[in-house]
Amino acid sequence: MKTIPMNLLKWCLIVTILISTPVYSNECVILLHGLARSDRSMETLSLALEKTGYHTVNMSYASTKHNIEKLAQDTVVKALSTCPKNAKIHFVTHSMGGILVRQYLSTNTVKNLGRVVMLGPPNKGSQIVDKLGNMPGFELINGPAGMQLGTGTQSVPSSLGAVDFELGVIAGTRSFNPLLSSMMPKPNDGKVSVESSKIEGMADHISLPATHTFMMKSKTVISQIIHFLKYGAFETANLFLQKDKDIT
């Protein structure tokens, strides 16, 4: 019985992997965390996107040190410089990270812009900032950018207007904090209401039983992110079949 050369086996294995695994290496996904968080909060999502085949840039930025305008310009420019040349550019953001993208795209153009997915974005501002912003220590903890996330005249999200890029929004409907939840319309995720997450011009919107703090780690949320990046819409046909035990 003839034996198959080892080199041939290796090549067969490589070909099998290439055929069975979609490759999106010419597509760069920039991840932007939320206020008072870090890139560590997005690591699970980053690994899932890399496993799918995307090139990922998981950015960390000093979210409590500067205003939204400076954070947007500095952070997005740095992230774009890390993506492969001529790659299609996607963004996946959590909370205030989505506002940075809106701010940047309001004054800049991204070559080869693909799709954007926002998780729990305060697109219409947050009532929590309205009610707690004047309390001692709030600005110290949340910084200049945090003070710009309300719904009043100083609100950056409210001033940016409709989006003109392909955007999918995932809102959460669970909360760990009943006190904070009581400060805003229901349903909400404990920080942002479902209504506040919506924005004129978005391509799709979905609400999932997830909390603001941990939605980016949910398997169901991650699968919806990947589906939107691929197809420009969320997968709703079989949503009722998905178990929500991993959603927190």
Which pLDDT tens digit goes with each residue over 49-108?
999 999 999 999 999 999 999 999 999 999 999 999 999 999 999 999 999 999 999 999
pTM for this model (two decimals) = 0.87
Measured distance CA(60)–CA(57) in Å, rounded? 10
Q: Which CATH architecture has domain 22-241?
A: 3-Layer(aba) Sandwich (3.40)
SS3 content of the chain, % helix, strand, coil (to 5): 40, 15, 40
| pLDDT reading at 17 higher than 50 | no
Burial bucket for residue 179 (CB in 10 Å: 0-12, 13-18, 19+): exposed
Q: Which of 9-13, 200-204, 205-209, 234-238 has the lowest mean pLDDT?
A: 9-13
